[in-house]
Amino acid sequence: MPAWIETVGITTLWAVALARAPQALRSGQQRPLWVAIVMIALAMSLHLAPVTATLAHLVPSPHWIDLTTHLLSIIDAAAVLWFILHAAGRHRPAPLVFGAALAVMTVLLFLDISAPLHARNQISPSPAVRSVPDAYWWVFFAFHLVADTTCGLVCWSQGRRETPRLLRYGLRLFGTGILLASLLWVLKLAYLSTGSPLFNPLFSPVTGIEAVFMAAGAALPVLAQIRTRWHHRRAYRGLNLLWQDLTAATPNVILGPGNRTRAAAAPLQLRLYRRVIEIRDAMIALRNYVTPAAVDLARRHVTDQALPKQAAEAHVTAYWLTAALHALHSGHPPQPQSANLAGPGAYDLADEINHLLRVADAYQSPANHAYRTSLIGMV
């Protein structure tokens, strides 16, 4: 398998970590998992050639580079385990996790110092090449295997069916990536036990695929935010013509000062929410300008088109709004309204937006133009 998979996977993981940074730094709930992602990306990066080349200028010898990266990876694995446990609401194991990490680091330092003088901390390809004893690697790999397996299982346990779908998929993808890291340590233990050259080419690709899975799991919330923002922008623009016509006729419903610069600086979700409120308030003000005859004409037009229920309700609303605007602009006085023109009740803001978008589409439709013509002819 090509070695570039590792570079692509790690680069993708860094990109996702940077994309999630602004929201994670503001949210105490998301911060632990984000820090875990950064720590994982950092640990993976320590093994890339450009990083080790940079370390060669900072650390006195290859032996100390190897030992430093190994000790940092233990700290990283413990931190990731603690952050994931913390994100899952399990706060007590911190002393156990970091105590175990400190113990493992102490053992690694002891085994390194007590070993014969050696140039690198690498698995020795032959007895003639001096290096640290195999016990060093058994301790090092075993700690990573336990930490990563625990992280992966916790992520999968949090991705239960009662968890929201997007979060569930994200946790499972992220957990799968960490369990692939466990596979990597199993492969390294197998290589340590057998010395077979068949295992060595698998290390880099498995690391890359592991990083891609974790990046995909971490990216799902970002993609969800992008999708939500796209839907909000589409809805905001879709309601624009209806909002303009209604608020021009009832300017008192506009919330706050009409400063366009200040309004544009507000978050899109807030602007959309205000637009929905202003449209609804305008509808309440305009319904007193609708005559029973105009409502009857609207319903006959809808019946003639044989529209589905939701579309029919939206068309009726668009038609009586057209009639109300026509009456207002023609100078007709308001009158008490006995008909129920509020439209269907909405369970939440999303339902309300979807209903008003259907009204906006109906308001701009050729059928509404035909209704307007019939209305003028009736008057």
Q: What angle separates helix 203-238 from helix 240-249, to the nearest 10 degrees? A: 30
pTM: 0.66
CA dihedral sign, ordered 321, 322, 323, 325: positive
Rounded CA separation 132/355 (Å) = 70
Phi first, then psi: what are they for 185, rounded to 5°? -70, -35
Identify the weakest region by mean pLDDT among 13-27, 76-90, 157-171, 208-222: 157-171
For residue 268, the model assigns a pLDDT of 85
Give the residue-averaged pLDDT of 89-93: 71
| CA angle in degrees (0–180, nearest 5) for 212-219-264 | 150
Question: What is the overall mean pLDDT for the chain?
Answer: 84
Max mean pLDDT among 37-46, 56-65, 132-141, 210-219 falls in 132-141
Residue 93 has pLDDT above 90, yes or no: no
Residue the block writes with tokens 């809805």:
235
Q: Buried b vs exposed e over 13-52: b needs ≥16 C-beta within 10 Å? A: bbebbebbeeebeeeeeebbbbbbbbbbbbbbbbebeebb
| CA angle in degrees (0–180, nearest 5) for 107-111-115 | 170
For residue 225, the model assigns a pLDDT of 78
End-to-end CA separation in angstroms for the chain: 78
Give the residue-averaged pLDDT of 337-362: 77
Give the residue-averaged pLDDT of 146-155: 92
Per-residue pLDDT reduced to its tens digit, 221-241: 778 778 888 999 999 999 999
pLDDT band at 343 (very low <50, low <70, confident <90, very high): low
The answer to whether the CB of 10 falls within 8 A of the CB of 48 is: yes
In the chain, ranges of CATH 1.20.1070 domains: 4-229
Residue 216 has pLDDT above 70, yes or no: yes
Distances (CA, A) of 7 to 39, 207, 208: 16, 9, 7
Per-residue pLDDT reduced to its tens digit, 30-89: 777 788 888 888 888 877 878 877 877 777 788 888 888 899 889 988 988 888 887 777
Q: What is the largest CA-CA distance in the chain?
A: 105
- Assigned token pair, 359: 């009204």
Assign 3-class secondary structure to the chain.
Answer: CCCHHHHHHHHHHHHHHHHHHHHHHHCCCCHHHHHHHHHHHHHHHCCCHHHHHHHHHHCCCHHHHHHHHHHHHHHHHHHHHHHHHHHCCCCCCHHHHHHHHHHHHHHHHHHHHHCCCCCCCCCCCCCCCCCCCHHHHHHHHHHHHHHHHHHHHHHHHHCCCCCCHHHHHHHHHHHHHHHHHHHHHHHHHHHHHHCCCCCHHHHHHHHHHHHHHHHHHHHHHHHHHHHHHHHHHHHHHHCHHHHHHHHHHCHHHCCCCCCHHHHHHCCHHHHHHHHHHHHHHHHHHHHHHCCHHHHHHHHHHHHHHCCCHHHHHHHHHHHHHHHHHHHHHCCCCCCCCCCCCCCCCCCCHHHHHHHHHHHHHHHCCHHHHHHHHHHHHHC
For residue 297, the model assigns a pLDDT of 85
| CA angle in degrees (0–180, nearest 5) for 124-130-135 | 60
Residue 370 has pLDDT above 90, yes or no: no
Identify the weakest region by mean pLDDT among 152-156, 176-180, 306-310: 306-310
Distances (CA, A) of 212 to 16, 82, 160: 10, 22, 22
Return the CATH number of the domain spanning residue range 4-229: 1.20.1070
The answer to whether the CB of 71 falls within 8 A of the CB of 55 is: no
Identify the weakest region by mean pLDDT among 112-116, 156-160, 161-165: 161-165
Rounded CA separation 188/202 (Å) = 9
The answer to whether the CB of 25 falls within 8 A of the CB of 31 is: yes
